[in-house]
Amino acid sequence: MTGAGTDHTKQKLEGGPAIVLVRPQLAVNIGMCARAMANFGLSDLRLVSPREGWPRTGAYRKGAYAAAAGAVHLLEGAKLFDSVEAAIADLTFVYAATARGRGQSKPVLTPDKALPTTAARMAAGERHGVLYGPERTGLDNDDVALADAILTFPVNPAYASLNLAQAVLLTGYEWFRAAHGDAIPFDVTPRSPPASREMTLAFFDFLEEELDKRQFFRPATKKPVMSRNLRNMFHRMSLTEQDVRTLWGMVVRLVEGPRREPKNPKRRKHPEETAEPEA
Mean pLDDT of 233-238: 92
Q: Is 170 among the domain residues?
A: yes
Q: What is the pLDDT of residue 215?
A: 92
CA atoms of 87 and 84, how far apart (whole Å): 5
In terms of Cβ atoms closer than 10 Å to its own Cβ (0-12, 13-18, 19+), residue 212 is: middle
The most confident of the ranges 64-73, 121-130, 187-196 is 121-130
pTM strictly above 0.75: no
Q: What is the pLDDT of residue 170?
A: 94
Of the pLDDT bands very low, low, confident and very high (cuts 50, 70, 90), residue 273 is: very low
Same domain, 133 and 222: no
Q: Positive or negative, the Cα torsion across 61, 63, 66, 68?
A: negative
Q: Is 160 among the domain residues?
A: yes
Same domain, 167 and 232: no
Q: What is the pLDDT of residue 271?
A: 44
Same domain, 168 and 132: yes
Q: Which of 50, 34, 53, 51 is nearest to 42 (CA)?
A: 34
- Say if residue 11's pLDDT is above 80: no
Q: What is the average pLDDT score of the chain? A: 87
Q: Is 150 among the domain residues?
A: yes
CA atoms of 155 and 153, how far apart (whole Å): 6
- Domain count for the chain: 2
- Say if residue 80's pLDDT is above 80: yes
Q: Is 93 among the domain residues?
A: yes
Same domain, 29 and 162: yes
Same domain, 259 and 152: no
* First-residue to last-residue Cα distance in the chain: 51
Q: What is the pLDDT of residue 55?
A: 72
CATH of the domain at 51: 3.40.1280.10
Same domain, 176 and 203: no
Q: Is 141 among the domain residues?
A: yes
Q: Is 191 among the domain residues?
A: no
**pLDDT digits over 144-188, tens only?**
999 999 999 988 887 878 889 999 999 999 999 999 988 776 667
| Domain's final residue, options 153, 180, 207 | 180
Q: Give the CA diameter of the chain.
A: 90
Same domain, 59 and 93: yes
Q: For residue 164, give the H/E element and its range.
A: helix 164-180
What is the three-class DSSP state of 20?
A: strand
Q: DSSP labels for 204-232?
A: HHHHHHHHHHTT-S-SGGGHHHHHHHHHH
C-alpha distance from residue 129 to each of 24, 110, 122 (Å): 16, 15, 10
Q: Is 108 among the domain residues?
A: yes
What is the three-class DSSP state of 135?
A: coil
What is the domain extent for residue 265? Answer: 197-274
Reply yes or no: is the peptide bond before residue 190 cis, omega within 30 of 0.
no
| Domain's final residue, options 155, 180, 205 | 180
Q: Is 3 among the domain residues?
A: no
